């Protein structure tokens, strides 16, 4: 729960410097996805996430669950996913090639089945990624402004409803793994992907988002039941000032493995699960929607007003566990100064993959489902144009990375990514609305300085051009032994025209 992946403990102070405001920003960083206003009562949800470590260890499922997680981040907010991007960085050896094939298959099987088009992406090859491939996936969704759902609970007495896959041991410790170096592989810590369940969840949650029956939704991604139930209450506390708490009955959690311990249940990262905060009086209606979609759902807890987090586990000899609600804050901010930059001496070549290789990749993705893809991967250029007949306009998405420039000049790397996207949007006549970025770096001991410089340079550009960062992801510890990857900031900019 306090690993780098879920709480950003060592990067928080830097991230707080980002430029995140703007008149059309509906939701900045801090929620499941960022949301910008695209006009005519509609909004665009956007987010990019990395699934680097899992994809290296178990490439097919690692990449597939990456797609699943980012899609849930989008539809958790009531938005219907309309586009995906895959941004890949791999080594040049045989192992990297076979990893790439599996990763591609994982992304394809997942996105195709759920029915969300992969409208673009890119692939760069560099031996710096030999033991740390990068798999970044971005997702976009459309939502009516007055139908946005947040991951919060406001009212004591309301239900905490569990829906989706059963809880198993898969992924226990996964969030911690993403914050460790690649020396210790733990295959069991990577979750299995189930795109069909995701599709059912997407449709059922999409239906619920249009009703007045629910108060909030939260993905049960990294760190599972513990994180999702406490997050909705913590956000509610912040927004209402009420002394809200939660009571979770672990006996009610649907499980797929026998003899799971309470800790395993709380931390399990089984995919395709959602937490719904439902108004108690509409409990039957909510459960009926899930039943219609063949999904298992049950009330596993409730929102309380006693300011504590209580875990009930009825077994002879087991005591209930009660924690103060602000327990997430008891982990201290780590502050250390590192100024090593061993990645600088690598001198490996950074090059774009051949057209034949990328063509074989995007041919495996259904890049047209939804019939919105005006400019997809079939035409050159790192941008996509998406039709939005709902507002009579088009959304333009541009993406870029440092393209190896961070090697010599860290600030120049992110500036290049920003400028490339910005120029593209301008040249296509699109008004930039927001940025989502994925900052892939090596071990903090030699990459924290570069990370700080990247944030500073990005912040300056955003301020100058008044384009806010509305969400993103930090991936540290992309390292193996004493080898850290070269800084690889990925930037995605969305605009409307």
Partner 1 sequence: MNVGIIRFPGSNCDFDTLNFFTKFGHAAEFVWYKDARPLSFDLLVLPGGFAFGDRVYSKATGSFTCDPGALALRSPVLKAIKKAAKAGVPILGICNGFQILVKAGLLPGALERNESKKFFCDYTVCNVSGASFFGSDVMRGKKFTIPVAHGYGRYMLPAREREKLAENGQIFLTYAGFNPNGSVDNIAGVCNEQKKIFGMMPHPERSPDGEYFMRAIESYVATH
Pick from 371, 380, 392, 408 the residue near partner 1 by CB under 8 A: 371
Count interface residues toward partner 1 (CB under 8 A). 31
Of 24, 145, 147, 166, the one binding partner 1 by CB under 8 A: 166
Candidates 40, 97, 185, 363; binder of partner 1 (CB under 8 A) is: 363
In the complex with partner 1, which residue's Cβ is closer, 15 or 369?
Answer: 369
Identify whether the C-beta of residue 400 lies closer than 8 Å to the C-beta of residue 407: no
What letter does residue 482 receive in the DSSP assignment? T
* Sole window of 29-37, 150-158, 326-334, 356-364 interacting with partner 1 (rule: CB under 8 A): 356-364
DSSP secondary structure letter of residue 334: P
| Smallest distance, partner 1 to C-beta of residue 201, A | 10
Q: Work out whether 164 is an interface residue with partner 1 (CB under 8 A).
A: yes
Q: Are 56 and 100 in contact (CB under 8 A)?
A: no
CB-based contacts of 394: which residues, under 8 Å, 6+ apart? 374, 385, 386, 387, 388, 430, 496, 497
* Residue of 315, 287, 350, 391 lying closest to 39 (CA atoms): 391
Minimum separation from the CB atom of position 115 to partner 1 (A)? 3
One residue of 254, 323, 352, 357 binding partner 1 per CB under 8 A? 254
Q: Under rule CB under 8 A, which residues in 196-225 are in contact with partner 1?
A: 196-197, 199-200, 203
Least Cβ distance, residue 187 to partner 1 (angstroms):
21
How many angstroms separate the CA atoms of 247 and 233, rounded?
A: 10
Start-to-end C-alpha separation, the chain: 41
Backbone angles phi, psi at 424, to 5 degrees: -60, -45
Angle at CA 155, nearest 5°, toward 149 and 157?
120
> 182 or 295, CB closer to partner 1?
295
| Interface with partner 1 in residues 471-490 (CB under 8 A) | none
CB of 239 to partner 1, least distance (A): 32
Could you please report the per-residue DSSP string of 251-312?
GGS-BSSTT--HHHHHH---SSEEEEEE-GGGHHHHHHHHHHTT--EEEEEEEESSSEEEEE
Q: Which residues, numbered 377-396, are part of the site for partner 1 (CB under 8 A)?
A: 378
Q: Which of 24, 51, 416, 480 is catalytic?
A: 51
Burial of 301 (0-12, 13-18, 19+ CB in 10 A): buried
Closest CA to 242 of 327, 154, 149: 154
Q: Among residues 84 and 108, whose Cβ is nearest to partner 1?
A: 108
Question: Is 458 in contact with 416 (CB distance < 8 Å)?
Answer: no
Between 243 and 378, CB nearer to partner 1: 378
Q: Which of residues 65-124 bind partner 1 (CB under 8 A)?
A: 108-109, 112-115
Cβ neighbours, 10 Å, residue 202? 24
Nearer to partner 1, 112 or 342 (CB): 112
For 474, list phi and psi in degrees, rounded to 5.
-115, 130
Q: What minimum distance in Å lies between the beta carbon of 326 and partner 1?
A: 34
Which residue lies nearer to partner 1 by CB, 196 or 331? 196
User: Which 3 state secondary structure label does DSSP give 120?
Assistant: strand
- Minimum CB–partner distance for residue 289 and partner 1 (Å): 13
**Least distance from C-beta 200 to partner 1, angstroms?**
6
**Which of 71, 99, 135, 165 is in the footprint of partner 1 by CB under 8 A?**
165
Q: Which residue has the tokens 């937490």?
A: 275
User: Using CA of residue 190, residue 75, residue 418, residue 369, what is the dihedral sign?
Assistant: positive
Given the complex with partner 1, which of 150 and 367 has the nearer CB atom? 367
Give catalytic status of residue 51 as yes or no: yes
Nearer to partner 1, 112 or 310 (CB): 112
Binders in 10-29 for partner 1, by CB under 8 A: none
358 interacts with partner 1 by CB under 8 A: no
Site string for partner 1, 289-308 (x = CB under 8 A): ----xxxx------------
Minimum separation from the CB atom of position 107 to partner 1 (A)? 11
Residue 60 engages partner 1 in binding (rule: CB under 8 A): no
Specify the length of the chain in residues: 497
Q: How far is the CB of 77 from partner 1 (least distance, A)?
A: 19
Distance CA(230)–CA(325), nearest Å, equals: 8
DSSP 8-state code for residue 353: P
Other Cβ atoms less than 10 A from the Cβ of 304: the count is: 20
Binding residues (CB under 8 A) for partner 1: these are 108-109, 112-115, 164-166, 195-197, 199-200, 203, 254, 293-296, 362-371, 378
Catalytic center residues:
5, 51
């Amino acid at each position: 729960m306090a690993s780098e992946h879920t709480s950003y403990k060592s990067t928080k102070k830097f991230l707080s410097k980002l430029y995140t405001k703007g008149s059309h920003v509906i939701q900045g960083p801090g929620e499941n996805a960022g949301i910008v206003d695209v006009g005519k009562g509609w909004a665009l949800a956007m987010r990019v996430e990395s699934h680097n470590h899992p994809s290296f260890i178990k490439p097919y499922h690692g990449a597939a669950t990456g797609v699943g997680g980012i899609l849930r981040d989008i539809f958790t907010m009531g938005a219907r996913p309309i586009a995906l991007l895959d941004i890949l960085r791999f080594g040049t050896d045989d192992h990297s090639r076979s990893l790439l094939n599996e990763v591609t298959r994982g992304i394809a099987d997942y996105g195709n089945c759920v029915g969300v088009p992969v409208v673009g992406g890119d692939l760069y090859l560099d031996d710096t990624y030999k033991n740390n491939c990068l798999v970044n996936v971005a997702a976009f969704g459309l939502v009516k402004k007055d139908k946005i759902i947040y991951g919060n609970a406001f009212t004591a007495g309301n239900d905490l409803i569990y829906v989706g896959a059963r809880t198993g041991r898969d992924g226990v410790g996964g969030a911690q793994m993403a914050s460790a170096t690649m020396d210790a592989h733990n295959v069991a810590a990577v979750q299995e992907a189930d795109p069909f369940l995701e599709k059912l969840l997407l449709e059922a949650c999409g239906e619920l988002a249009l009703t007045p029956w629910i108060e909030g939704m939260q993905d049960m991604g990294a760190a599972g039941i513990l994180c999702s139930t406490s997050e909705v209450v913590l956000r509610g506390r912040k927004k209402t000032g009420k002394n809200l708490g939660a009571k979770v009955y672990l006996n009610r959690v649907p499980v797929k493995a026998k003899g799971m311990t309470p800790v395993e249940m709380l931390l399990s990262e089984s995919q395709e699960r959602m937490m719904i905060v439902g108004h108690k009086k509409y409990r039957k209606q909510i459960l009926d929607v899930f039943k219609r979609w063949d999904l298992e759902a049950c009330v596993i807890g409730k929102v309380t007003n006693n300011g504590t987090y209580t875990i009930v586990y009825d077994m002879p000899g087991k005591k209930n566990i009660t924690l103060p609600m602000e327990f997430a804050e008891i982990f201290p901010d780590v502050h250390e100064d590192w100024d090593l930059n061993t990645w600088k001496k690598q001198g490996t070549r950074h090059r774009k993959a051949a057209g034949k290789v990328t063509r074989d990749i995007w041919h495996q993705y259904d890049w047209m489902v939804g019939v919105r893809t005006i400019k997809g991967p079939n035409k050159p250029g790192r941008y996509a144009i998406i039709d939005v007949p709902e507002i009579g306009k088009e959304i333009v998405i541009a993406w870029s990375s440092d393209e190896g420039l961070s090697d010599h000049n860290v600030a120049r790397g992110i500036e290049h990514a920003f400028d490339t996207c910005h120029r593209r949007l301008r040249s296509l006549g699109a008004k930039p609305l927001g940025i989502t970025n994925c900052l892939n770096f090596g071990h903090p001991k030699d990459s924290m300085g570069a990370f700080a410089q990247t944030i500073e340079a990005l912040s300056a550009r955003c301020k100058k051009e008044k384009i806010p960062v509305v969400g993103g992801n930090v991936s540290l510890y992309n390292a193996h032994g004493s080898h850290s990857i070269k800084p690889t900031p990925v930037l995605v900019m969305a605009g409307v025209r």
